[in-house]
Amino acid sequence: MKILVVHGPNLNLLGQREADIYGETTLEEINQRLNEKAKENGVTLETFQSNHEGEIVDEIGKSKENEIQAILINPAAYTHTSIAIRDALAAVSIPTVEIHLSNVYAREEFRHKSLISPVVHGQVCGFGVNSYMLGLDALIDLLKS
């Protein structure tokens, strides 16, 4: 089983970026924890971070050719703006879980709307790094069932 993990814009700055909201764990540490869980479950992970919408669209679009069976995505700010990423996910049509470190619904109103949610299997938000871990668990369960 192969799962693609996509981290959107500014998530490369985790650890130093608004730590009161996003915590002190770096992206490298998150990827390491995800890889450990994946390994325990016999799953291979491909992790990808970009600050550029088109690069994220390209990566999602290559899912079939890269034999990706599911996607775990934190689209970050593109959650609230990107029809292109939503369309890419709809196009590849494989099980996808959207995650957010923060509880976007308890924050500014512009974060309450996700353009991504309607095309994913489910969403996890508000649990910090655990949002990623819970999302990966959910995808592994989905793939096994």
The reply on whether position 111 binds ligand DQA by CB under 6 A is yes
Minimum distance from residue 56 beta carbon to ligand DQA (Å): 13
Minimum distance from residue 76 beta carbon to ligand DQA (Å): 3
Q: What is the 3-state secondary structure (H, E, C) of 106-126?
A: HCCHHHCCCCCHHHCCEEEEC
| Residue in 73, 23, 32 with CA at minimum distance from that of residue 53 | 73
Q: Which is nearer to ligand DQA, 63 or 123 (CB)?
A: 123
> What residues contact 74, with CB distance under 8 A and at least 6 apart?
6, 7, 8, 11, 98, 99, 100, 101, 131, 132
- Catalytic choice (100, 112, 121, 132): 100
List the one residue from 79, 82, 96, 123 that touches ligand DQA (CB under 6 A).
Answer: 79
The reply on whether position 104 binds ligand DQA by CB under 6 A is yes
Interacting residue ranges for ligand DQA, rule: CB under 6 A: 10, 74, 76-77, 79, 100-102, 104, 111
